Amino acid sequence: MKLRGKVALVTGGAKRVGREIALALAGRGCAVAITYRSSRREAESTAAAIRRKGVRALAVEADQRDGTEVRAAVRAIETRLGPLDVLINNASSFYPTPLETVTEAQWDDLIGTNLSGPWRFAQAVSPGMKRRGQGKIINLVDSAAFSPWPAYLPYCAAKGGLVTLTWGLAKALAPKIQVNGIAPGPILMPEGIGTAEKRKAIKKTLLKRMGSPQDIVQAVLFLLEGSDFVTGVILPVDGGRLLA
């Protein structure tokens, strides 16, 4: 797929890794929409930065825990920018949930954001992609899907489900739509993570260092532009954490 002239959606594209992905797609000549739940100021800033690259941009508020909002967001994007060729399911929710204290609301939030949301967006965009005979979907998973963290079990369960969803969508949407996943390791530490936890995360990699958002960006660009013969793959970008 050549990205110039295409239309992409990056969920949670207002900041952090999502912002870097959105800007990279814009740099390839792709019109880019981003969704956000509460980061309006950051989303508007990112959309402005995309437009400065000479392509169209749109920031849409959408709570991906709500199917009605997801479908409305996709309709708004396709009305303003045109049919979607690329979906990057990047939006995520992450916070500690010790087994003894996790609540029903926390479980619903983490599953809804990290698993149900990507499902809803894929369900919304894939019929149009199939009619047009092409499309690419990339789900941002997590190395924790394969090695769960006891203090974050709802999050890990959601990401594990997203792995299975990625494989299932690759089968269901073949042969015209390619669906893949990227499993980042330590790239950007979440807010509130201390120095000791950061060192522990680095120690668990084979390369003994942090990655950068650009490592994820390059993986995204490979799956979009580098090959049309890759589908159903979960690509670890984790410094060897899975092996370590």
DSSP string for 41-108: HHHHHHHHHHHTTTS-EEEEE--TT-HHHHHHHHHHHHHHT-S--EEEE-------B-TTT--HHHHH
Contact status, residue 173 vs residue 130, Cβ threshold 8 Å: yes
Q: What is the pLDDT of residue 196?
A: 87
Phi, psi (rounded to 5 degrees) for 60: -125, 130
* The predicted structure's pLDDT at residue 14: 97
| Architecture of the domain made up of 7-237 | 3-Layer(aba) Sandwich (3.40)
Tell me if 159 sits within 8 A of 114, measured CB to CB. yes
List of residues 6+ apart from 26 with CB closer than 8 A: 32, 49, 50, 53, 55, 57
Angle between helices 104-111 and 153-173 (to 10 degrees): 30
Pairing of β 7-11 and β 86-89: parallel
Q: Note the residue count of the chain.
A: 244
Active site residues: 155
Q: What is the phi/psi pair of residue 218, to 5°?
A: -65, -35
79's tokens: 């009305």
Residues of the chain scoring pLDDT < 50: none
Strand partners, 234: 181
Torsion of CA 11, 16, 19, 24, to 10 degrees: -120
d(CA 185, CA 175): 30
The pLDDT assigned to 188 comes to 87
CA–CA dist 201, 193 (Å, integer): 10
pLDDT confidence of residue 193: 75
Structure tokens given for 136: 């690419």
Q: What pLDDT is recorded for position 210?
A: 95
Q: Is the pTM of this model over 0.85?
A: yes
